[in-house]
């Protein structure tokens, strides 16, 4: 397994409000890079989309609490992974995202920059939505 982590982002909302928003798969469309997403679909606790020029992604909400939301891939292609978003704080939130992927070392080196950038874009989108601190 390879683990990729975002920078920490300070967001002007309570952790539980942030995780409540993120625990609804249809809300993910709002924070994904719109120019890179196509074929968006959502049903119940799952969503699916294609990242232009890359892969089809299928996510299912695995768990959610006041401080963490976990999505898992429901397809082995391109590889199995978990997307974990953690929210710490009381009145404001320190947000971080982790991508835990079942890839070999060589693939991990190739994925490091694009996945880290992707995770940081989620934090930036949430900072825009709720306001940065």
Total-model pTM:
0.94
CATH number for the domain including 26?
3.30.530.20
Q: How many structural domains does the chain have?
A: 1
- Beta 46-51 vs 37-43: how paired, if at all? antiparallel
* Banded pLDDT at 47 (limits 50, 70, 90): very high
What is the average pLDDT across 18-28? 98
pLDDT over 90 percentage in the chain: 85
- The pLDDT of residue 133 is 86
What pLDDT score does 55 carry?
A: 82
State the pLDDT at residue 53: 76
Model confidence pLDDT, tens digit, residues 63-100:
999 999 999 999 888 899 999 999 999 999 999 999 99
Query: pLDDT at residue 51 above 90?
Result: no
The whole-number pLDDT of residue 91 equals: 92
* Residue 124 clears pLDDT 90, i.e. is over it: yes
The residue range of the domain holding 53 is: 2-130
């Amino acid at each position: 397994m390879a683990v990729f982590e975002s920078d920490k982002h300070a967001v002007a909302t309570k952790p539980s409000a942030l995780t409540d928003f993120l625990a609804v798969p249809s809300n993910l469309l709002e924070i994904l890079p719109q120019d890179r997403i196509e074929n968006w679909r959502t049903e119940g606790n799952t969503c699916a989309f294609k990242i232009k020029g890359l892969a089809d992604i299928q996510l299912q909400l695995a768990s959610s609490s006041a401080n963490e939301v976990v999505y898992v891939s429901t397809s082995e292609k391109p590889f199995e992974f978990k997307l974990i978003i953690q929210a710490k704080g009381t009145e404001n939130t320190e947000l971080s995202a982790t991508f835990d992927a079942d890839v070999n070392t060589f693939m991990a080196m190739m994925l490091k920059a694009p996945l880290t950038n992707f995770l940081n874009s989620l934090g930036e989108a949430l900072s825009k939505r709720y306001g940065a601190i």
